Amino acid sequence: MTAVDDRRTAGHASMLAASRLLLSSQLEAADRDALTRACDDVRMVPAGTDMVPPRSPVDALHVLLEGWAARYKVIEYGGRYLPALLVPGDICDIDAIAFGRLEYGITALTECAVVSLPRSRAVALSQSHPNIGAAVRWLAFAENSILTEWATAMGRRSVHGRLAHLLCELLVRLKAVGRAEGNSFELPLTEEHLADALGSTVIQINRTLRLLCSNGLVAREGQRLAILNWSALCTFGGFRPDYLYFEDIHEQSGDDALWIKKSFH
Amino acid sequence: MTAVDDRRTAGHASMLAASRLLLSSQLEAADRDALTRACDDVRMVPAGTDMVPPRSPVDALHVLLEGWAARYKVIEYGGRYLPALLVPGDICDIDAIAFGRLEYGITALTECAVVSLPRSRAVALSQSHPNIGAAVRWLAFAENSILTEWATAMGRRSVHGRLAHLLCELLVRLKAVGRAEGNSFELPLTEEHLADALGSTVIQINRTLRLLCSNGLVAREGQRLAILNWSALCTFGGFRPDYLYFEDIHEQSGDDALWIKKSFH
DNA sequence: CGCCAGATTGACACGGCTCAAGCGGTGTGG
DNA sequence: CCACACCGCTTGAGCCGTGTCAATCTGGCG
């Protein structure tokens, strides 16, 4: 995990720059400083560990700097479901700003580096800095939109479609935080993780992944996933990136934002 | 529609009092006044009509006073899905505060009475009145929680479970706005509406509803639905009301809030 | 070398979707 | 006042997508 260690020693200030929250164009320098200063030190979370147990009181928000995590819910006799996959830059439990208790848990799917932002400080900041308040609100609604899309996918798409859709979404989201090169990215998730995120089973995911490969839509090499035929994969999964509202984010992305737009117009 | 006409002539100020937004305990009298004054007049929307077409620019938020509506998405070759059922008091398109365009449409499932809150005024209010901003943020996260629960249900529950779960949710939500008597409420939706909300089909909903009836869990009389065995229905649907975060709302509900709590502890 | 997590493959069963037909209530026009 | 149409509900039969069960294979690691 040398990459992780590098990030760690570099301090979290530079890392935070790529977080969803700080990407918001509504923030000014003072807002960013205040946010960065409010964060605690970087903490490492081993893979498979609960960062936040479900239904417990939360005293801090967690910003993911490195690694993959997920929100999860456990249904009695229904197994596990992952209503959100979290990548570097995401705030794992942003709703803790409004609620002192969360209905889901957060688990580290790989080894993770996170910084904590004490809840009281987060609440205070979003009150005292109107821009931060607005940015949080924006993020809340953006998550809302993603959740709506996921629920729709669960309700009205086949497992094949859902997997294709998810891979498309991941590429766009990873590009936005500089974690994709061209049309490929590291996907360190097991098929079980994907199954839990898509409401399916390992077997089904295995076969679907294999199908996408054999049809030349994607290719896998180790943990790296490359999308070979972007437009075909989008069509197959019914993916349109509008629901991510990434056009509202100007900084950082630049060329990539342009690339996404071009693919659809 | 005499009931609707009554409400109409009564003016919207009193009606708005029951809206989710105004229920928030974070608001003070001045905040409520400002919100109420910012609203336009009541407008009637016929059943089956689009209140807001999908993917179009929105210039106003819509607060539902009377009737049932839904957010909807249309999937090519996948039919329609309703990621949210809206009942009186709900804000149909609250995310328009953050985005000028919505990814979903809003359709009136029955005849509806709505008031419009111009987007510009809503944005201004949530900036100038910190309490309103916080209340909007709270609502955003509350919707987030419901969406998470729905996605989880779509992914990991059977159609039977999902329907039971939905009926439980509806009772709690309707009670909170005074639209349920005891364990029963008006359910003016067709089986097709329910199917679209649950990602299923008319036939399946019909059979499931029939199953719940024959097992003595619920009873139907016209458009009225009564939950005969609340705890059994909750168990069957895996329903726990925590995700609705209604304990944060103190006013208005009173006895009902107590009743919900008692059922689970 | 042996262990183990994860990927893979096959056989099978079942939930739920599809197709198709009939039923009942309500509204409308002749 | 009846005939017809239409919408929503109901019911049956069959099939397909997926979940389940079970076994094998692979690569990494102690």
B248 or A226: whose pLDDT is higher? Answer: A226
d(CA A38, CA A43): 15
Task: For residue B131, give every residue at least 6 positions away whose Cβ sits within 8 Å of its Cβ, in sequence order, or none.
Answer: B26, B27, B28, B31
Express each pLDDT in B229-249 by its tens digit. 999 999 999 999 999 998 765
Q: Say whether B156 and A245 touch across the interface (CB within 8 A).
A: no
Under 8 Å between Cβ of B60 and B101: no
**Residues A62, A68, A71: CA angle, nearest 5 degrees:** 60
The total number of residues written for chain A in this structure: 265
In this predicted structure, what is the pLDDT of residue B18? 65
φ/ψ (deg, to 5) at A242: -55, -40
Q: Do A103 and B145 touch (CB under 8 A)?
A: yes
Summarize pLDDT for A36-54 with one digit per residue, the tens: 888 877 899 999 999 999 9
For residue B136, the chain A residues in CB contact (below 8 A) are 137
Residues of chain B with pLDDT under 70: 1-18, 23, 248-265
Residue percentage of chain A with pLDDT more than 70:
86
Residues 222-261 of B with CB under 7 A from strand D: none
* Cα dihedral value B237, B238, B240, B245, nearest 10: -80
Residue B5 near chain A (CB below 8 Å) = no
Inspect the interface and report whether the beta carbons of A154 and B157 lie closer than 8 Å: no
How many Å does it take to go from CA B207 to C1' D14? 17
**Interface with chain A: mutation pick from B77, B139, B141, B265, highest number of A CBs within 10 Å:** B141
Q: Is the CB of A220 under 7 A from strand D?
A: no
pLDDT at B186: 96
Nearest by CB to residue A78, choosing from B79, B130, B156, is B156
List A118's β-bridge partners, or say none. Answer: A60
pLDDT digits (tens, 9 = 90+) for A56-78: 999 999 999 999 999 999 998 87
> What is the interface size between A and B, counted as CB pairs within 8 Å?
144
Q: Which residues of B touch A83 (CB under 8 A)?
A: 148, 151-152
Mean pLDDT taken over chain A:
88
Q: Is the pTM of this model over 0.85?
A: yes
Inter-residue contact B160 to B218 (CB < 8 Å): no
Q: How many residues does chain B have?
A: 265
CA-only gyration radius of chain A, Å? 18
**Which CA-bearing residue is nearest the C1' of D27?**
A222
pLDDT at B12: 58
Find residues 147-166 of chain B whose CB sits inside 8 Å of chain A.
147-152, 154-157, 161
State the pLDDT at residue A39: 86
Tokens matching residue B77: 């070759």
Report which of B36, A252, A244, A250 is spatially closest to residue A264, judged by C-alpha positions: A244
Q: Residues B153-205: pLDDT tens digits?
A: 999 999 999 999 999 999 999 998 889 999 999 999 999 999 999 999 999 99
Name the residue with the least CA to C1' distance from nucleotide D7: B190
**Distance, angstroms, CA A191 to C1' C11?**
22
Closest approach of chain A CAs to the CA of B223, in angstroms?
26
Q: What is the pLDDT of residue B253?
A: 45
Q: Residue A8 — very low, low, confident or very high, per pLDDT cuts 50/70/90?
A: very low
Q: Percent helix, strand and coil across chain B, each rounded to 5?
A: 50, 20, 30
What per-residue confidence (pLDDT) applies to A80?
96
- For the stretch A179-203, pLDDT in tens is 999 999 999 999 999 999 999 999 9
Helix A202-214 crosses helix A191-198 at what angle (to 10 degrees)?
A: 100
The pLDDT tens digits of the residues spanning A137-169 come to 999 999 999 999 999 999 999 999 999 999 999
CB A180 within 8 A of CB A238: no
Closest by alpha carbon to B20, among B68, B57, B53, B64? B64
Give the model's pLDDT for residue B4.
45
> Between chains, do B141 and A98 touch, taking CB under 8 Å as contact?
yes
pLDDT of B14 reads 57
Paired tokens of A160: 């094949």
Q: What angle do CA A144, A146, A150 make, to 5 degrees?
A: 115
